[in-house]
Amino acid sequence: MYLFDNLSKLLLLSVKEQKPTDKIQTEISKIPLKKLKEKLNNDTEKKTFWINLYNAYFLILRTELNLTKPKIYTEKVITIANHNFSLDDIEHGILRKYRYKYSLGYFPNFFTRKLIKELAVSKIDYRIHFALNCGAKSCPPIVFYNSEKIALQLDDVTQSFLEFETDFDHSKKEVYTTMLFKWFLGDFGGTKGIKKIYQQQLKKDISDYKIKFKPYSWEENLNNFI
């Protein structure tokens, strides 16, 4: 059996190259749950595996099953380790440590399945929001993540996305940035956290700037691979 991060990358590569994915999906579906938990035993391995799978399965559900929102996010039609998951399970359950989808990142989902809690990361990494692709024009592009260098990769995609998405009005001391910050405000540490991220990622001091959020373009933009 492939290493799990390689297996997730192989699925994503097959999707990109428009090759059949049935055999890889079957292999992923039959991974023993015990082995999955043993292998994905830290946040680095978990983020690598689940980000790649999310980006692959979004395209599979959209292009092969013709699902659209909201069902594309909520339907539990992804089989992994003999259990069914939705894209929301992967994003909000596992990668966001079972945050309630509509709480701006501040409250857990008290109805989360035990399995999701067992598979979830131990700490939310805000950079995942710049790695998950939902097929829209305003979504971050798709990258193939490797467990050996995912920390650097997430830094790079965060920096490049913010550079592209941010406009500064220095005369008014205003910053116009991605709506992702508003939707998941708690994941970023609130407004103070956003300003700290700009200092860390872009070396921009916006401590006395007002933050404004750009409209999010849901115009479809599939297969946006780097």
Q: What are 138-184's pLDDT values in tens digits?
A: 999 999 999 999 999 999 999 999 999 999 999 999 999 999 999 99
Residue listed under structure tokens 């380790």: 81
Distances (CA, A) of 112 to 117, 119, 134: 7, 11, 22
Question: What global pTM score does this model have?
Answer: 0.96
d(CA 2, CA 10): 9
Distances (CA, A) of 77 to 74, 80, 160, 182: 9, 10, 32, 29
Residues of the chain with pLDDT under 50: 1
Start-to-end CA span in the chain (Å): 27
CB contact set of 193 (below 8 Å; sequence gap of 6+): 126
Residue 71 phi, psi dihedral angles, 5° rounding: -65, -30
User: Which two three-digit tokens encode residue 98?
Assistant: 């079972």
Sign of CA dihedral 144, 147, 153, 154: positive
What is the per-residue pLDDT for 226? 86
Domain-wise residue ranges, the chain: 4-137, 153-213
